Structure 1
Amino acid sequence: MGVFESLRMSLGIWLSRIFGKKRARIGIYGPPNAGKTTLANRIVKDWSGDGTLGTVSPVPHETRRAVRKEGLVINADGASIHLDIVDTPGMATKIDFREFMAYGMSEEEAKRRAKEATEGVIEAIKWLDDLDGVLLVMDSTEDPYTQVNVTVIGNMEARNLPLLIVANKIDLPNAAPSRIKAAFPQHPVVQISALEGKNLDELYHAIAVHFG
C-alpha cells in the first residue's frame, strides 16, 4: 500500500470516529459477468488495501455465495460514508447447466454449478431485506432493457431501497452507457470501467452522497 493510500485510509477512519459518519450496508447486484466482483475488488483495494473480495472469471456465476467486507470508509470530494459492501451472486431468471458445459465442464460438474448458482440467486434476493442500498452493475456493451434488469429494479423499488446504477465496461469500443440512462431515467447512473479504474472517483463521490 502506498503512502497516499495509507494517509487517505487513516484520515477516513479519523473523520468517521470524530463526526460519526453513517454506516451503510450496500449490496452489489447485477446479471452474471457484468463486472460486480471486479468492482467489489476495486473498492476493497482502494479503501482498505486488503487484497480482494472475490474471484473474477469469464465463466458465468463464478460468485455463487454472497461475500461481505465490513468497515470501509469512503471519502470523496468532501463526502464521506462508513460502508459495509456485499458482493452478491449474479441475478438470472433461468440457469441452464448446459451453459457451463460450454466452458469444458462435465455434465455432473455443470449441474452442480447450476444448482449452486440457483441457490446463490435466492440468497441474493434474501440479502435485500438486510441492505441500506444497492449498486446495480450493468454491462454497457449490452442491451440494458432485459428481463433480469427490469425485475431487479422493480424488486428494489418495491422495497424502497436507494439505488445507484453503475454502467460498467466503458473501456470497450462498443460501450453505450447512454442506453442505460435512457432505459432507467428514474435512477442515477455513473459510467465506469471497473477493470481499468476509469471514473472511480466519480463513483465514490456518488456512493457517499447517495447512500450517506
Structure 2
Amino acid sequence: MLLIRPPGVYAPQEDTWLLRQALQDASLAPGSRVLDLCTGTGVLAMAALRMGASEAVALDASPRAVLAARCNARLHRLPMTVRRGDLADAVAEAEEGRRFDVVLANPPYVPSPNPEPPRRGRAMCWDGGPDGRAVLDRLCAAAPSLLEPGGALLLVHSELCGIETTLALLREEGLKSAVVARSLIPFGPVLRERAAWLEARGLIPPGRRTEELVVIRADRP
C-alpha cells in the first residue's frame, strides 16, 4: 500500500502487520465503529474501513502523524476521521457516550533508560518508560470505558514489557483477555542500541537479540 510518511512518523512494520492480521482474523462485523489509537500513518484505521467498518476514528498525539493519516485517507479515498489527541482525549469522549465496537492500539512500549516517555521527537513513537508500561497501564485501565458492550480491544506489544501483566490488568477490569497472535522477530535498531541496558536490567538474557511480539484481545462482556 502506498503511504505518505513524513520524517518522525512511525513506519508500519512487524507489529503493525501483526495487529492488522489479528484484526482480519477477528472477522470485523459489518458496520463496526473502530478507534485506532496511536494511528501513525493511519494504515490500521484504513484497513478496518476496507474490512467493513462503517466508521474509523484515528487518533495520534503527533501533529505530523495526524497530517500523514489525513493525507493517506485522502490518497486512498477512505472516509476516515483523523484527530490529534491521546488516550485521555478518547476517555473524555467515552465519558460523553462515544464508545467503539473495536479499539486498535499500537502504543509506545519499548523499555527506555529515560524515566518518562518523551513528548516530542521520533522516540515518542516507541519509548514507554523504564518498563515499557507508561502508556500500557493507562490503556488497560481505560479499555472498558472505550468499548461498547460486546466490543473488543486488540493491543500489540512486546514480551519485554510484560505479557502476563497486561493480561492480568485487563482481567482485573472485567475484560476477557487472551493472546491471539505471536511473532518472533530480530531486534530492530532501537533495541539493538539498548541491548546492553536491557541485559543489565534483566529484561533479556545475555546475547539475546530477538523479541516476541504479541497481540492481546480483550472483550468487554
What TM-score does the superposition give when structure 2 sets the normalisation length? 0.34
User: By percentage of residues, which structure has more strand?
Assistant: 2
What TM-score does the superposition give when structure 1 sets the normalisation length? 0.35
User: By percentage of residues, which structure has more helix?
Assistant: 1
